[in-house]
Amino acid sequence: MVRLPLLRAVLAASVLVASGTAAAAPVRADGKPRPRAVDDLARYVNPFVGTAPGGPDFGHGGGAGNTFPGASAPLGGVQWSPDTVTYQHGGYSYGDNRILGFSLAHISGAGCAAYGNVPFMPTQEAVPPAYATFSHANEQAAPGSYHVTFDNGIGTDLTTTQRSGIARFTYPATDTRPAAVSIDAAKAFTAATGSVDIGTDTLSGYSDSGAFCKSKNRYRLYFHATFDQPFAQGTHPDGKAGAAMVTFAPGVRTVTARVGVSFVDVEGARRNALTEQAGRPYDSVQQAVRADWNTWLNRVTVGGGTDAQRRVFYTALYHALLHPSVFSDTDGRYTGMDGLVHRTRTGHVQYANFSGWDVYRCQVQLLALLAPREASDIAQSVLNQGLQAGYFDRWTLANGGSGVMVGDPLPAIASAIHAFGGTDFDADVLLRTALADRQDDRQRPGHTQYDTLGYVPAGTKGVWGSVSTTLEYAVADYALAQLAHRLGDLTAYNTLLRASGNWRNLFNPATGYLQPRAADGTWPAFTPAQKTEYVEGNGAQYTWMVPQDLPGLFAAMGGDAAVTTRLDTFFTSLNAGASEPYAYLGNEPSFGTPWAYTHVGHPDRADAVVHRALSTLFSDAPAGLVGNDDLGAMSSWAVWASLGLYPEVPGSAQLTRTTPLFTTATVHRGDGTTLTVGSAAPRHSLRQPPKHSLR
């Protein structure tokens, strides 16, 4: 295991080599280094990966990645993508050849419906069509762009900036019917209402929706579309103010629409498109977003491997860089969790859409490694949400919480970002706020029992999965303890570190498992495969989820030999679902378990499991993910695994090592430093967990 010290680019051990600039950078005549060449790595990305089921549906959002193939910028606030008649979370089911429309906002990989607001649909019908059919042979997707030609001959090209998009609709010359476009602000993937104002060449308004995972979450998305052709006619179909259909003059065969979005107001949406597009033609904007994607993808350059492995790798990196989403307007305004309009510091961005339970494990660490500046803004966004809402919600969409999933992941996200060098945020305020909010029922249901008994008892009212919740709180306490130590607050550090050991109160020596416990200290009947008192998993899977103290857990289990035998049995299956006592790598609780082998002297077995997972659970086809991508969580796992590294301990920058998939890999951090992964360096097993990340 290696540690990434803060504010320095020198890594311990021989696993990674760091330098201030890229190795062997060419020098110009004036002595300054030439810009590093940027390869067109976007050619390896297949945005259709995850749009078809790659594994069984275990009841946790389906067996597909739930990704979308449409256009988005890195961390973009607009995801303009097609939606099929057959619904799949993400909006697009690869097995369906019927498109309902192209909506402006999507979430990549969630297990519930979210967004899908304001679908646009080109047509030549007299009324808005129900759908149009197409063939995948006439469909292409790439980072930042999407194209399809319907069977009726109408073509759609989509591309985006961070807060806006351009659509180019082409109509067949052989069909003399007028070109038309319909939009519906009262449509989304969940119940929605909306309003559309029709101008001479503009459509604007808002769409209200929410109810993510049946929660009370609500949001309002504003939009403004400017067309390059005046309307010959504009109507509200069926008299509904939430929808509009516009037609163009006879002979118009190409129509371009520039669309901005905002969560503040229509004027913000208009200004976002105007500022970011600056009147550039479609092709120029499309080339710019592809160049932007290539800049991000080139932050990890690899050598060796097959083309298929590169396609899996760069597609995973692409999916890991879609979220969180830019939420503030170009002028810094955004609507906060309190419903009020706020403004970011000049030059900074507010982000939204935090799949906390999923991404705290390894996705935000990857973002912070590659982009500490943007990651700092993400951490500040977490803090802003907590201050405005009065607590840190676990899963936030737009400017509202949902209470979905368990644990206390958002402070852990900020701590992990800080550990990896994203320190430009109010870390002291975040620590104080997170400490106070540990006693908030909205943030930590069952916190009273957790703080007094040292665990959440089975059957606690308002708690989903007492064992999972206890373990998640302990992990979050450890992550926050690391932040406290880095900030010099040793009192908070010691308090949180003690709490991070609460996993011990659920370890039953008689069975060797972490299992439900009654409030009186007794142990209810238990089987390793039981799902009762666990969240999207079972007793066998959650028993390994003590990343902050694996040596302590393994000592309690009986030592290295006993643990090795149990791990061998556990990995009999890699994606068994929640009903079998084996690994479930299609879901987050099992993510870190393959690296447990490195703690018992068997890095070779960790290699075998990780490489078997990469080769059998991931592919470069639409069915290339066996479970929800969860805003890049699963894809980031594949990126780390391919690099032969894993951020095993939340809140720290410790990296556990396995053999990399590629011969060489170099990380360009976006701050002028590089890290090179070498496959020839010796492995090291960590025998005692460090209590903090070193500066």
Phi and psi angles of residue 330, each rounded to the nearest 5 degrees, phi first:
-65, -25
Q: Give 677's pLDDT tier (boundaries 50, 70, 90).
A: confident
Strands (E), 395-445: 395-397, 400-401
The count of other CB atoms within 10 Å of the CB of residue 643 is: 24
What is the structure's pLDDT at 672?
86
What is the structure's pLDDT at 681?
43
Task: Report whether pLDDT(694) > 70.
Answer: no
Q: Give 541's pLDDT tier (boundaries 50, 70, 90).
A: very high
Residues 9-33: what's their mean pLDDT?
38
Residues 111-138: what's their mean pLDDT?
97
Task: Report whether pLDDT(243) > 90.
Answer: yes
Instruction: Dump the DSSP string for 314-361.
Output: HHHHHHHTS-SEE-S-TTSEEE-TTSSEEEPPTT---EE-EEHHHHTT
Residues 98-112: what's their mean pLDDT?
98
Residues 639-644: what's their mean pLDDT?
97
Q: How far out from the chain centre does Cα 386 lie?
A: 19
Residues 143-168: what's their mean pLDDT?
98
Q: Give 679's pLDDT tier (boundaries 50, 70, 90).
A: low
**Cα gap 249→246, rounded to integer Å:** 10
CA angle 395, 397, 400 (to 5 degrees): 90
**Cα gap 325→397, rounded to integer Å:** 10
Q: Give 34's pLDDT tier (boundaries 50, 70, 90).
A: low
Structure confidence by residue, pLDDT tens digits, 163-181 = 999 999 999 999 999 999 9
Q: Give 263's pLDDT tier (boundaries 50, 70, 90).
A: very high
**Are 312 and 624 in contact, with CB atoms under 8 Å apart?**
yes
What is the structure's pLDDT at 670?
86
Structure confidence by residue, pLDDT tens digits, 399-409 = 999 999 999 99
What is the structure's pLDDT at 689?
34
Instruction: Dump the DSSP string for 636-680.
Output: HHHHHHHHTEE--STTS-EEEE---SSSEEEEE-SSS-EEEEETT
Q: Which of the pair, 25 or 324, is modelled with greater confidence?
A: 324
Structure confidence by residue, pLDDT tens digits, 275-319 = 999 999 999 999 999 999 999 999 999 999 999 999 999 999 999
Task: Report whether pLDDT(14) > 90.
Answer: no
Closest C-alpha to 380, from 347, 405, 341: 347
**Cα gap 580→191, rounded to integer Å:** 36
β-strand pairing of 654-657 with 2-3: antiparallel
Task: Report whether pLDDT(557) > 90.
Answer: yes
Task: Report whether pLDDT(637) > 70.
Answer: yes
What is the structure's pLDDT at 35?
62
CA angle 566, 570, 571 (to 5 degrees): 125
Long-range CB contacts (within 8 A, 24+) of 449-455: 449/519, 450/502, 451/499, 453/505, 453/519, 454/502, 454/504, 454/505, 455/502, 455/505, 455/506, 455/517
Residues 523-535: what's their mean pLDDT?
98
Q: 103: which strand partners?
A: 81
Phi and psi angles of residue 255, each rounded to the nearest 5 degrees, phi first:
-130, 130
Measured distance between the N- and C-terminal CA atoms of the chain, rounded to whole angstroms: 16
What is the structure's pLDDT at 628?
98
pTM attached to this predicted model: 0.94
Least confident of 14-18, 45-49, 463-467, 554-558: 14-18
Q: Give 539's pLDDT tier (boundaries 50, 70, 90).
A: very high
What is the structure's pLDDT at 671?
87
Structure confidence by residue, pLDDT tens digits, 422-444 = 999 999 999 999 999 999 999 99
Task: Report whether pLDDT(27) > 80.
Answer: no
Task: Report whether pLDDT(544) > 60.
Answer: yes
Q: Tokens 């940027």 map to which residue?
A: 38
Strands across the sheet containing 16-19: 16-19, 674-678, 664-668, 300-303
Task: Report whether pLDDT(484) > 50.
Answer: yes
What is the structure's pLDDT at 447?
98
Mean pLDDT of all residues in the chain?
93
